[in-house]
Amino acid sequence: MPLSFTKRPSLVAYVTCGDPDLATTRAVVLAAIEAGADVIELGVPFSDPLADGPVIQRASERALKHATTLDQILKLAAEVRQRSQVGVIIFSYLNPIMRMGVPEFCAAAATAGVDGALITDLPVEEAGDYRREMGKRNLATVFLAAPTSTDERLKSIAKASTGFVYAVSRTGITGARKQLPEGARDLVRRIRRHTKLPIAVGFGISTPEQFAAVGEFADAAVVGSAIVETIEHNPGQEAEAVAAFVKRLTAVSRECSATTGKG
């Protein structure tokens, strides 16, 4: 079922679980929620993160040194769910899901109270079995839509998505950028032709101004590398630093809403 984005833009906050350890991840997630994050993406560390830039690659390496597993992340998700009702998404490459088994993963995710999942390297054309298992457990599926996607493919992605559609703002790997890509607005416009689901824009959003700008044309902004980098640069004070960063992001959005009257 669709995730609820109650304000615009809503903040989808990504963390690499286990970086620097699971206890810190839990503290960071709860601090981000308290500071205003609307949806949490729990990133599953992977040894070959082809879609990710150097910041998240380093985070995955640190997490894997502690042998962070998908089982542990689902237990973390259950702990977060006991404390909050915000949306919780498992963000993973396909390999960890396949190692657990798709039916087993879906059952465990539902038990943990997870809302859905995004598998970054699972093409929509090959996702039939996964979608059926997720549907059995009433778990949301989220798929990536890229600027290079044809209109026909965007239609397929929109049809396969049940939580929200993740609009990749630019081609390439994840990572903070100084400017919001010009094609992001056009991509969201193209996706809206095919769905009434919320649309979240991600890849490269790192400043309060970029976050607020996304709210002009999309329902939510995904912030990942900037949060992971904040964790990396603040050892021992990760939760406090992320909370302060999240507050700065959402403050600009609130100011814009108050000025324009937009919700």
Separation of alpha carbons 91 and 142, rounded Å: 9
Give strand pairing partners of 223: 13
CB 187 within 8 A of CB 216: no
Q: Which of 126, 117, 188, 138 is nearest to 158 (CA)?
A: 188
Give strand pairing partners of 89: 41, 116
* Amino acid occupying residue 232: E
Separation of alpha carbons 107 and 66, rounded Å: 25
Query: Ramachandran region of residue 158, left (φ > 0), alpha (ψ -120 to 50) or beta?
Result: alpha
- Measured at the alpha carbon of residue 34, what is the angle toward residues 60 and 197, in degrees to the nearest 5? 75
What 3-state class would DSSP assign to 100? helix
Could you list the active site residues?
A: 41, 52
